[in-house]
Amino acid sequence: MDLLTHLAGQGIRLADTTILFYYLTLNLFYVVLFAIAIPDLWRHLTLSDDVDERARLLSSEAFPPITILVPAYNEEITIVDSVRALLTLNYPRHEVVLVNDGSSDATMEHLIHAYDLYEVPPAYPVYIRTAPVRAYYRSRRFSKLLVLDKKNGGKADSLNAAINAARFPFLLAVDADTIIAPDALQRVSRPILLGEHVAAVSATLRVANSCHIEHGRVTDARVDRRWIPGCQVVEYLRAFLFGRTGWNALGGNPIISGAFGLFRREYLLAIGGYQVGNVTEDLDLVVRLRRYLHDNNIQATLPFIPDPIAWTEVPTTLRILARQRERWHRGLIGTMVAHRDAVANRRYGPFGLVALPFLLIGEMLAPVVELLGYALTLLGLAFGLINWEFAGLFFLAAFGFGIVLSCLGILLDELSFRRYSRASDLARLFGYAIIESIGFRQLTVWFRLRGFWYWWRGSHTWGVMVREGFTGKQGGPQQRAAA
Amino acid sequence: MSLFFVALAVEGVLLTVIAALVVLHRVLRVRRDRVGRLVEARTAAGLRAWLLEGQGAHAYIRALTDIPPHIALHRLATAMTEHIPLEHRDELVVLLRVEQWTAAIARQAASRFWWRRLAAARLLAFTADPSDRVRVRRLLDDPHPAVRTAATRCLPRVNDPELVALVLDRLPPLAPLVRAALTVTLRDLASHTVPALLARLTSAASSRELEAWINVAEVIGAPEAYPHLAALAGHEEAVVRLAVARALKRQFHSDASDVLATLLSDGDWRVRAQAARSLGALGAHEKTPALETALADSAWWVRFRASLALAQMGEPGRRVLKESRRASDRMARDMSSLVCGLSDGSIIELTEA
């Protein structure tokens, strides 16, 4: 019996030590990302300071023409303001292609009324097959607006329909409820203007909940008082400010957010557009795009630019958050399984050797390792198989290091963009940095574990996502549903 | 002391340091903002006294001298872009050139660090004179693209034909959009650019070079370039013919539409589409039959551009479009219907985009 207890103790201690090292390695990797993000962040801040150059170029043909792709499903509350904000972006050459994906609410009626839409004949090329488009509309008030009314086929299908109808060589995929800063398109074009051959460009997403929004523009950035969106503010700061900036130096980002990403159209067409049925179409698209570039020996980059900003609404209830995180994780698992031959494959360079293994070990398996770590440590403590010191070290690595990393994200924002000007917001951010590591993340572990289960069952559903509208932001929340 | 307490202490210290840095930065920023507002008020007052009250630029220069050079440069660039009229700039430049802080920034043209060279290029864009030729040339050769782009903005002030020729020779390998950015400056220096350009627009040049230089000729729109462009319309490379088709939309020469009509039957659909577009831009009514034929082209973009060109031509073009809605060719019918259904604003926007 003593031998058995001894062996169990040794086993748990070994497993716990391995998990402890997993945490330390992963967190140290984030520290490395932080360190290498600083020069790149500073470089972009220096380059973005050249306001006179941008003003001069606005009147030239130097800025690349961009088509903004907007898939919309049941967006009646926000659609008119969102589209107006997109149409009035400070950019010399852009068009908006909005796809109403068979909404069951009054999205289409609102658009027709607000923008004086009239039907035009369906004389657009079809490069990618999609669900049938019922009608094409142009606006009498804004000639740069094209609206497609199609049968419901999902977000990826809507984006593909928009790609077919787009005229310009660069495509910006946004969510209908994303609020883009007025100068974001000018900023996101920077690598193209500097002569870099880019296949795609990603930019910063921030949390719009509780921000003051007027006419589709964020006029006052605030940190939500509610803990669920508040913790996500910290998460987004950490992920975008040093997570994604750091990846630039490691061969480029493995993820370009579907809510705000610029793509070269020819490459999207070459890979057949978005994959219908994939619940994280943005991740799948980037992996396929990178593989296509490598397979065809195309020297193109996918940089992340930190200063163009788009604001997005995040879940405010546990139920919605659970659905979102479960779907994200299910999509990640599906993508990793589909592209398993590229993981640790030298043929794909840094993407195959660093980014994909990171997605596998640091993201996909993270909830499993984390749950195991908590369970083994608590079991070990309960049965006296590990000592308090070891358990303390484990929780310091799991929680304490996470808090430090979140605070580094807050520091980086303070030193660079300083979006949150109030001291109360700053204090709240530090508070949420603690809650995010102790409480919030553990909840998302559970949600992400459910992703494994639903993936195993072959689920392809998005789930109903109830959000608050931006209109009447200072008043009571307006509920809407989006799939 | 156990490892746990060491790790706890390290994390505690790290968190305290981060929090202290954030608070310290916030405090310093509040103070800096307060000082910045005072400085801004002084520079604005100096600018007002100079531009509106005719008191000379000395007060404005003094206000700029009192702030850190990188902030002064930013303020100066913004004021030059947004507030200071062209006729007042030379007066300011004379005063700025004797200032120590501007001299220090200009010397950074030889710095090892790209951001310092960028600052030098940005300043010289406003203050350079012919004596800065060597500096500007060095910046034009800079390995950093942002520095090179900023350096081209110095060209109008240096006013040196040799540097203009140098920029022209460097254009071809650059990405099209970078070329477009540099061409904006070359357009402002047309008196130097056009002779250098004409000397280069010959069939001896490579197709890549010709494409870049024809684009410059398009932006400048110099009538002297027409014979050279017309001669290149029969070039064997499609990219050159495409560039010619695009450039001809700004050549209001009596024969330009004939050249474009020929390009409308080119073997490359991109050339045909561009030729149709340029015919529309020129308002070449006499080429309506050729555009009507192009409505049944096998390429969607050619049909699209031909129908838009017809819509641009007023009544004769519209009549052709209306008749084509009943044409036997389905593709011509669909495209005519599409364009006939567009509002005038949409047509203007689509033809320009």
pLDDT digits (tens, 9 = 90+) for A375-393: 988 888 888 888 888 888 8
Q: Looking at the complex, report in whole angstroms how far the Cα of residue A62 sits from the nearest Cα belonging to chain B.
A: 5
What's residue B286's pLDDT?
87
Mutate to test the interface with A, among B13, B18, B321, B342 (most CBs of A within 10 A): B18
Q: What span, in angstroms and rounded, lies between the C-alpha atoms of A12 and A373?
A: 10
Q: B13 versus A417: which is more confidently predicted?
A: B13
The dihedral through the CA atoms of B194, B145, B117, B90 has a sign that is positive
For the stretch B283-341, pLDDT in tens is: 888 889 999 999 889 898 899 999 999 998 888 888 888 888 877 777 888 888 888 87
Q: What is the mean pLDDT of residues B16-39?
A: 90
Q: Chain A contact for B348, CB < 8 A?
A: yes
| A368, pLDDT greater than 90 | yes
Tell me the pLDDT of chain B averaged across its residues: 88
Q: Cα separations (Å) of A237 from A2, A120, A188, A435, B3? A: 50, 43, 18, 15, 31
Contact across the interface for B337 and A410, Cβ inside 8 Å: no
Nearest CA in chain B to A58: B181
Q: Indicate the average pLDDT of chain A.
A: 88
Does the structure show a pLDDT above 70 at A470? no
Q: Is residue A369 pLDDT above 80, yes or no?
A: yes
Distance CA A278, CA A292 (A): 18
pLDDT of residue A76: 87
Q: What is the pLDDT of residues A254-287, one digit of tens each?
A: 888 888 999 999 999 999 999 988 788 889 999 9
Residue A69 confidence (pLDDT): 96
Please tell me the predicted confidence (pLDDT) of residue A482: 38
Inter-residue contact A418 to A252 (CB < 8 Å): no
ipTM score = 0.82
Q: Which residues of A touch B32 (CB under 8 A)?
A: none
CB atoms within 10 A of CB A427: 11
Q: Any residues with CB less than 8 A from the CB of B185 and at least 6 apart, and which?
A: B152, B153, B155, B156, B167
The alpha-carbon gap from A408 to the nearest alpha carbon of chain B, in Å, equals: 7
Band of pLDDT at residue A463, cut at 50, 70 and 90: low
Q: Mean per-residue pLDDT for A467-479?
A: 46
- Identity of residue A203: A
Which residue from B minimizes the CA distance to A420? B26
Q: Is the pLDDT of residue A475 over 50?
A: no
At A21-69, the pLDDT tens digits run 898 999 999 999 999 999 989 988 888 877 667 776 776 677 889 999 9
Whole-number Cα distances in Å, B41 to A27, A337, B72, B85, B99: 47, 61, 13, 20, 21
d(CA A230, CA A245): 22
B4 and A392 within 8 Å at the Cβ level: the answer is yes
Torsion of CA A73, A78, A83, A89, to 10 degrees: -130
DSSP secondary structure, A71-115, as one string: EESS-TTTHHHHHHHHHT-S-SSEEEEEEEES-SSSHHHHHHHHH
- Rounded CA-CA distance B63/B9 in Å is 48
C-alpha of A226 from chain center: 21
Asked if the Cβ–Cβ distance from A193 to B177 is below 8 Å, we say yes
Give the pLDDT confidence of A79-95 residue by residue, as tens digits: 888 899 899 998 988 99
Check whether A480 has a pLDDT greater than 70: no
Structure tokens at B61: 């220069």
* Confidence grade of residue A479 (pLDDT, cut at 50, 70, 90): very low
Q: What is the pLDDT of residue A148?
A: 96
Is residue B177 scored above 80 in pLDDT?
Answer: no
Query: Is B11–A404 a contact, with Cβ atoms under 8 angstroms apart?
Result: yes
Contact residues on chain A for B337, CB-CB shorter than 8 A = 121, 123
Chain B hits for A43, CB-CB cut-off 8 Å, are 115
Instruction: Let me know: does A342 contact A356? Beta carbons within 8 Å.
Output: yes
Contact B278, B271 (CB under 8 A): no
* pTM of this structure: 0.83
Chain-chain contact of A144 with B183 (C-beta, under 8 angstroms) = no
